[in-house]
Amino acid sequence: MSDYTTIMFDFGGVVAAEGFRTGLEAIGGEHGLDPAETFRLGKEIVFDGGYVVGAVDEAAYWNEFRRRTGIVASNTELRRHILDRFRPYPEMLAALARLRQLGFTLVMVSDQTNWLDELNERHQFFPLFHRVFNSYHHGRSKRDSRFFIEVLAELNSPPAAAIFLDDDPGNVERAQSVGINTVLVTSPRQALKELAQILGVIDL
């Protein structure tokens, strides 16, 4: 029997393809800008401007993005680039269903916005999780280690009984700093292989 009871998953880059990065890069390339710099700037604005913690709305985010980049495009066009690229990984969805069957508590912990709710309407992945913690609704992001502490408190789970999967090294380090076991994700195959080894599960 595994010593772990709770498995926490990031969304983009873990459960689904990372649509925020690839979407912003596509926007930059389409408008003659450096894709990597467009992503860097878009990420800076989403955090520093407060959209990721619900301090401002989507319209304010895109207004600032257009102001900083000089891009002329509608909110509808810009958001389509991002939302259409957040495609859930079938192998990860299958693994989530398997882990639920095995009795683990599954939790999503994501630095996201209202987009996560819309993506769930498209793809219906929330039912695979027992709880969903979205920074946009929670008012705190994973850049603050207190987010992890608050999640554990709401789950009534000790850190040593939890595993957290994320593709961002900084988020992984902050989770580790509060005692959570982690997997740094580079691909669904790698993540599920490492998770199965940690849990002592043969087939994920």
Q: Domain ranges for the chain, please list them.
A: 6-17+88-199, 19-83
So what's the pLDDT on residue 191? 97
Do 26 and 35 contact (CB within 8 A), yes or no?
Answer: yes
Question: Residue 159 has which token pair?
Answer: 């850190």
What percent of the chain stands above pLDDT 70?
A: 100
Region 122-148: mean pLDDT is: 98
Question: Is pLDDT at 1 greater than 70 in this prediction?
Answer: no
Please state the φ and ψ torsions of residue 166, each to the nearest 5 degrees.
-155, 150
So what's the pLDDT on residue 201? 84
Q: How many angstroms separate the first and last alpha carbons of the chain?
A: 16
Region 29-42: mean pLDDT is: 98
Question: Is pLDDT at 19 greater than 60 in this prediction?
Answer: yes
So what's the pLDDT on residue 203? 77
What percent of the chain stands above pLDDT 90?
A: 96
Q: Which residues contact 9 (CB under 8 A, 6 or more apart)?
A: 15, 96, 106, 107, 108, 109, 129, 164, 165
Question: Is pLDDT at 128 greater than 60 in this prediction?
Answer: yes
So what's the pLDDT on residue 138? 96
So what's the pLDDT on residue 204? 79
Quickly state the pLDDT bin for 150 (edges 50, 70, 90): very high
Question: Is pLDDT at 2 greater than 90 in this prediction?
Answer: no
Region 30-35: mean pLDDT is: 98
Question: Residue 24 has which token pair?
Answer: 């912003």
Region 24-48: mean pLDDT is: 98
Region 108-136: mean pLDDT is: 98
The CATH H-level (homologous superfamily) assignment of domain 6-17+88-199 is HAD superfamily/HAD-like (3.40.50.1000)
Region 172-180: mean pLDDT is: 98
